[in-house]
Amino acid sequence: MRTPIIAGNWKMHKTINEAVELASSVSDATAVLDGVEVIIAPPFTALSRVAEALPADGRVQLAAQNCYCEGQGAYTGEVAPAMLVDAGCSHVILGHSERRQLFGESNELINRKTHAALDAGLRVILCIGETLDERESGRMFEVLKDQTAEGLKGLTPEQMDQVVIAYEPVWAIGTGRTASADQAEEAHSFVRGLIAGLFDKPVSEKVRILYGGSVKPDNVDGLMAQQNVDGALVGGASLKADDFARIMNFSVEA
């Protein structure tokens, strides 16, 4: 059985004090949670303070929303993987569609970041996903294949133990539109098959694939009921403690 992951990507929201308050509320909501990993990704400015505020038992883990592919140097405005570890992070989100679409990040750069993050001891949440045009023009599977294969290029099966995939259809991020449970399952099943081809079946059966794209309390149960959906990467709903708590406490019972 793959342990589900519910991760909250706060994007460019929350001051330091607001982030600490929300993190504390999320932590409180996990007190009776069992069998689910919870990860939150505040903005860079709040990481170290949130790390100090989280309980030491690790029931809420800390992620950064991005990193650079070099350890140090003249890279104004960038953050090295080791700096994230020093701030208390265990994970980093890489390849988010907003990084690809707004900042022009290529598969090759995301792959370099993935290697750098893993080398620094971080676990990677690698995001992939197609745009509406790519889906409607029949290129969805081609795009997912390229993003997956190039993003994971050069990784060993052992390193894949430290990688989580997040499928985020770009047309569903922040739009209120959500892929249907069947659409999510189709994409997740395809990606799991790709990983089996890139590595082997045991690796593909262990890797966790999260769904992201307007995940909300009223749709999480149907998504999580799918065989190949192993969790959620939550955007807007992770900014509200009550909504995120409901998502963490998803139910797959009929």
Residues labelled as active-site residues: 96, 168
CA-to-CA distance for 211 and 199, rounded, in angstroms?
A: 22
Distances (CA, A) of 30 to 16, 188, 217, 223: 21, 27, 16, 21
Question: CB within 8 A of 49, min separation 6: which ones?
Answer: 16, 19, 20
| Residue 228 CB burial class (10 angstroms; 0-12, 13-18, ≥19) | buried
Q: Where are the beta strands (DSSP E) in the chain?
A: 5-9, 37-41, 60-64, 91-94, 123-128, 163-167, 209-212, 231-234
The β-bridge partners of 67 are none
- Compute φ and ψ for 97, nearest 5 degrees: -60, -30
Q: Three-class SS of residue 228?
A: coil
